[in-house]
Structure 1
Amino acid sequence: MKTDKNLTVHDVARVAGVSIKTVSRVLNNDPTVRDKNKEKVLSAVAVTGYRPDLNARRLRTGQSYLICLLYFDYVSNSYSSRLVSGAIEVCDDFGFDLMVRPVKDRKSLAEQVRNIAARSNPDGYILTPPMSDDKDVIAVIEEENKSVIKILPMELDDISCVNCDIVAGVREAVNHLLTLGHRRVAILNFFKVRGGLLRYQGYEEAHRQFGLPIDSTLQIDGPMESDEDYERAIRQMLSGEDRPTAFFTFNDYLATLVYKVASQMKLRIPYDLSVIGYDDDPSSKNLWPPLSTVHQPVVNLGRAAAGKLIQQQILKQTYNHSEDLKCRYIQRSSCGPLL
């Protein structure tokens, strides 16, 4: 047997007992290959230790076998790291690499994407909110004749988007607060992005089910420039005579700011103030008391985005969607009955 470095598809075909063409089809994830032959080839690859020559593969197909995931960088951004984790799993399955680009300068975003295309020539892009609604960025990608998958954009379609049921998860969470007797539930939200609009819809539907009007004085709108700005707004709301007895926040990080301000004001969670976050950040269960939150299937969103981009758009195969993209309320210890 040759050394790993010198192995070719001829060696894999000989060990597997199939044709070179069959080996090539398996390595290129052709879904029409019979399972029996696929197992033979994959077993031969494992036995021989064969690794495809990616440079030759790129020259032969004209593809980079690289996809780019873009996200906005901000403090405590575990959301994007979990998206990346899911996307990498799928890239590995299909022999692609993932280029991850955190973005801080929003003003020159389209130009940054143009530079990425010139330097690295990715086969496609995954855009995270709110970038998934940036028309200038999408225009650049289309100019480059590249594929794109948008996560939770304002306008949905079955081809270029992935989505999860935000409304149902938030409705369940706010329903829990209302069932506990809370009637003044504040919402700290981003009202100008699709995720924020859907969170508000869930918040609104829960109130409607209980026959309760929406009080606009219980709404805090983000994003803000700094944590101090959020804390100031939270403190002002909690200092009023008719203060809220519960908070629902756009994400778990903002819930930690509610915890901080409540502690400074000697308000005990959940006895004096109930709090629910959103995302089910891994750190949310380590707060005290552990934070009730809405679980968003972020890793699965990453898997679905990469799977749809690679399989459906780049490889032109049938995309077999099997990820669980439901949002669920996770009840922990940060909510209590109104006393």
Structure 2
Amino acid sequence: MTQQPKYKKLVEWVKAQVESSKLGPGEKLNSENELTEMFQISRQTVRRAIEELEMDGIVERRQGSGTYISNVFKRKTENTMNIAVVTTYVDDYIFPSIIKGMEEVISEAGYTLQIAFTHNSVEKEYSVIKNILDRNMADGIIVEPTKSGIPNPNVELYNEIIAKDIPTIFFNSYYPEIKLPYVVLDDKATGYKAAKHLIDAGHERIAGIFKSDDRQGHLRYAGYVQALSEEGLRLYDENVLWIDTEDLRNLSMESKRVLKRLKDCTGCVCYNDLAAQEVVKICSKHEIKIPEELSLVSIDNSDLAANCKIPLTSVSHPKIELGKMAASNLIQMIRGEIAQASYAFSPELTERKSVKRIN
């Protein structure tokens, strides 16, 4: 009986490590010296084994760095039929509708949705993503970025996702420094549309309330600025209020700060319906009539906009459709059926009673 060549033992060992998930895509293989010691074989024999593994597409050599498990090698045990959804919030505002859209597509495709939320905390985001990676618990990941308006401290985790070739897509926003696809509302066009609606109604001095720690806020501000600039209207720094996650839900407690920014304005673009609702509370408390004295355009067109004390004119968020698109594109990524998974929805505006025409 012919004895198995020594290099084959190493080849089979590496394959077994990958099949059992002890080594995953993007992970570094032991050095030549370590493998020589472990298997009591020569370095030449180690190199022969590495060459065969490389030809089989299981490993790849990186000059000056070492040998790594190939990103394109798929483990047989990889298919969990689970899709992990990581969202900032889940139980209110527009989030249930987005999740509903995802769940509809995911379940129809035969997958199970596993959801976790970060409460817009980068620490929580780290623990959630780390847990998904460590437990190899999903075939793909749908992530809503946490505080996407500021540098993300969890970049290395996302680089690990890319290195392991785990299909992943962002929704609602994205981290520009991380090269992963995303499905979003076109936030710059949204800010532009909100401001342009006020301009078309004759308003010239228009305030803006934007979120500083989410990328959506920066892009909506950019659209607002563009609309003012195109019409030759002046942007007043003192009429722009930047808020963060902690400020948003308690904005009505900051009446003095808000009213200072609204001074001399006849219109205001609000980051979302939550912010607009808080402005309505402040105006009511201080006897400022909407829309007679201050017109508002908000963003998201949630139930809050329709049910607000003064029904809000609001730019619509695609909600269910965005959720469906994110899930559908991820499933196509898992199946290798899509080349361009990013998509931006064009904004549409729903008119109600919060804008007064003054021209």
Common fold: TM-score over 0.5: yes
Q: 2:144 matched to 1:128?
A: yes
Q: 2:118 matched to 1:103?
A: yes
Q: 2:256 matched to 1:235?
A: yes
Alpha-carbon shift at residue 154 of structure 1 (Å): 4.3
- Corresponding residue of 1:142: 162
For structure 1, which runs of at least 5 residues remain unmatched after alignment?
A: 1-58
> What is the identity, as a one-letter code, of the residue corresponding to 2:88?
F
- The count of corresponding residues between Structure 1 and Structure 2 is 279
- Corresponding residue of 1:244: 265
Greater Cα offset, 234-243 or 60-69: 234-243
Q: 2:225 matched to 1:201?
A: no
CA distance in 2, matches of 1:241, 1:330: 23
The C-alpha deviation readout for 1:289-308, integer Å capped at 9, x for no partner, is: 21111112122221111111
- Corresponding residue of 2:22: none
State percent identity of aligned pairs: 24
Label 1:219 to 1:324 Cα distance change in 2 as closer, same or farther (>3 A).
closer
The C-alpha deviation readout for 1:154-205, integer Å capped at 9, x for no partner, is: 4399972223322223222211212222222111101343211210121011
CA distance in 2, matches of 1:159, 1:173: 29
Alpha-carbon shift at residue 136 of structure 1 (Å): 3.8
TM-score, length of structure 2 as denominator length: 0.69
**Contact 2:184–2:344 (CA under 8 A) maintained in structure 1:** no
TM-score, length of structure 1 as denominator length: 0.72
CA distance in 2, matches of 1:200, 1:64: 41
Pairing 1:1-339 to 2, within 5 Å after superposition = 62-73=78-89, 77-104=92-119, 105-119=121-135, 121-130=137-146, 134-142=154-162, 144-151=164-171, 152-155=173-176, 160-226=181-247, 230-238=251-259, 242-311=263-332, 313-318=333-338, 325-338=345-358
The C-alpha deviation readout for 1:309-335, integer Å capped at 9, x for no partner, is: 111x211124798x9922112111111
Q: By percentage of residues, which structure has more helix? A: 1
SS in 2 for 1:107: helix
Alpha-carbon shift at residue 337 of structure 1 (Å): 2.8
CA distance in 2, matches of 1:252, 1:241: 17
SS in 2 for 1:306: helix
CA distance in 2, matches of 1:62, 1:228: 41
Label 1:96 to 1:142 Cα distance change in 2 as closer, same or farther (>3 A).
same
Greater Cα offset, 252-261 or 159-168: 159-168
CA distance in 2, matches of 1:176, 1:230: 24
SS in 1 for 2:185: coil
**Contact 2:211–2:244 (CA under 8 A) maintained in structure 1:** yes
For structure 2, which runs of at least 5 residues remain unmatched after alignment?
A: 1-74
Q: Please provide the CA RMSD for this pair.
A: 3.1
CA distance in 2, matches of 1:258, 1:236: 11
